[in-house]
């Protein structure tokens, strides 16, 4: 699933491709914003993206089972 995160005072959004479910991302987002903690997401390659909850302007969730285009090897 593709997740786009808008951050306050930053012109570009952060895009993360992850295998986490939309429900898990929504729960983590809610906890980060309400508790003032850090939103931590892990992408498909195992890298972690951390954003302070109080700096998140918005989150856009893509389709969970988006079709892939191209040839898989």
Domain boundaries, the chain: 2-61
- Fold held by 2-61: SH3 type barrels. (2.30.30)
Reading the chain (73 residues) residue by residue, the pLDDT tens digits are 999 999 999 999 999 999 999 999 999 999 999 988 999 999 999 999 999 999 999 999 988 765 566 666 5
Q: Residue 28 to residues 11, 14, 24, 73: CA-CA distances in angstroms?
A: 23, 16, 6, 33
Q: What is the pLDDT of residue 69?
A: 65
Is 26 in a helix, a strand, or coil?
Answer: helix
Q: What is the pLDDT of residue 68?
A: 63
Residues 56 and 39: beta-carbon distance below 8 Å: yes
Beta-carbon-side half-sphere exposure of residue 36 (alpha carbons within 13 Å): 0
Torsions phi, psi for 59 (to 5 deg): -135, 130
pTM, two decimals, is: 0.80
């Amino acid at each position: 699933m593709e997740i786009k995160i808008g951050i306050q005072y930053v012109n570009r959004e952060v895009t993360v491709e992850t295998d986490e479910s939309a429900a898990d991302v929504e729960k983590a987002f809610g906890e980060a914003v309400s508790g003032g903690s850090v939103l931590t997401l892990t992408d498909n390659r195992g890298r972690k993206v951390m954003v302070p909850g109080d700096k998140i302007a918005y989150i856009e969730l893509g389709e969970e089972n988006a079709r892939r285009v191209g040839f898989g090897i």
